[in-house]
Structure 1
Amino acid sequence: MSRFITFLLMAVTSWLTVAASGPLAVEALFDGRFRTDPRVTETTISGSSLADYNLTFYKSLTFVGAPDLIPTVEKAVTHDGAGARNREVSYQDGHLYYGFYALPSRDNLKRYIFYLNRASKSATGKVILIYVEGHADINQIKRMLKK
């Protein structure tokens, strides 16, 4: 009986690991829905230009003066952040102000989300969302973000 329980626990743990490394809520935000919105800048980089950073993929969204879009972004970030291996977060006025999340790896690639909400500072404040994948460790990503 105890072997069966051990096996069952191992199976559930394996399933949860696979489920946690599935599609991210923030990935859906990069589906092109903001491309025609002048308040949003979308950047996607892949390939050899990222080799110096030990990354394979970089995506970012920058929102300026778009308070109506922020709840959608914040919800996606906090959803994905709940499954993070490592996180640093800060809240202001009941909203996520800063978030840095190291997510479970997928296809042997490390994944990170960075979120900064400066929209509460002014009506034209910025919100930045960055998603990266690659072989860079957490310290390399933090150094890159400081630049």
Structure 2
Amino acid sequence: MIRQTILSGILLLALPLAAQQGMHVEELFDGRFKKDHRAVEVLIKGKELKKYHLTLFRSLTISNAPEVFEKMEALVRKDAVHAVDKEVGTISNRLYYGFYCFPAQNDTFRYLFYRNTAAKPGSEKQPEATLVYMEGKVTLEELKQMFQ
């Protein structure tokens, strides 16, 4: 009984550490946008991604939601601090686009792409922000080759 209590306590202490290893943008994929008419959320796993050497593809596109755009940008900027490679474009201190590569975990690479058309004044009638998260065995060079 004492051993079980101690083990439970250790596991509870370890939970926040595990959560800190995740991405900040993960909270945007918690299902809150499933019934939001301004949003399109995509989740692909399994054999459909095998030919791309990916194990997970998630995307979220939101239209006409400036408050959500700000939240998305803030979360992307927090994650960007941990990127080992990045390509970023800003307009008036707003993040217009960002492509980030994160350190591999267990030989799995992680990538984040963000684009916010609302950062470009007058460019579109309907501003939208898109967030894409990918992970798998694919290297950055292979990924760039696929999207050329």
Using the size of structure 1 for normalisation, the TM-score is 0.80
| Aligned twin of 2:55 | 56
Query: Offset at 1:125?
Result: 1.7
**Alpha-carbon distance change, 97 to 104 in structure 1, aligned in 2, over 3 angstroms:** same
> Which letter does structure 2 place at the counterpart of 1:141?
L
| Aligned twin of 1:131 | 133
Counterpart secondary structure, 1:129: strand
| Aligned twin of 1:117 | 116
Separation in 2 of the partners of 1:89 and 1:138? 15
1:125-147: per-residue Cα shift (whole Å, max 9, x none)? 2211000000111122234445x
| Aligned twin of 1:27 | 26
Query: Offset at 1:104?
Result: 1.2
> Which letter does structure 2 place at the counterpart of 1:84?
A
Alignment map for 1:1-147 (pairs within 5 Å)? 22-120=21-119, 121-146=123-148
Separation in 1 of the partners of 2:45 and 2:147? 17
> Which letter does structure 2 place at the counterpart of 1:129?
L
The gaps in structure 1 that reach 5 residues or longer are: 1-17
Using the size of structure 2 for normalisation, the TM-score is 0.80
Counterpart secondary structure, 1:72: helix
1:11-34: per-residue Cα shift (whole Å, max 9, x none)? xxxxxxx98x81110111100011
1:28-63: per-residue Cα shift (whole Å, max 9, x none)? 110001111110100000000001111000000011
Query: Offset at 1:107?
Result: 2.8
**Alpha-carbon distance change, 144 to 76 in structure 1, aligned in 2, over 3 angstroms:** farther
Provide the identity percentage: 38
Q: Give the length in aligned residue pairs.
A: 128
The gaps in structure 2 that reach 5 residues or longer are: 1-16
User: 8 Å contact 1:66–1:124 — kept in the other structure?
Assistant: no
Counterpart secondary structure, 1:88: strand
> Which letter does structure 2 place at the counterpart of 1:60?
S
Separation in 1 of the partners of 2:117 and 2:84? 25
| Aligned twin of 1:15 | none
**Alpha-carbon distance change, 76 to 137 in structure 1, aligned in 2, over 3 angstroms:** same
Counterpart secondary structure, 1:103: strand
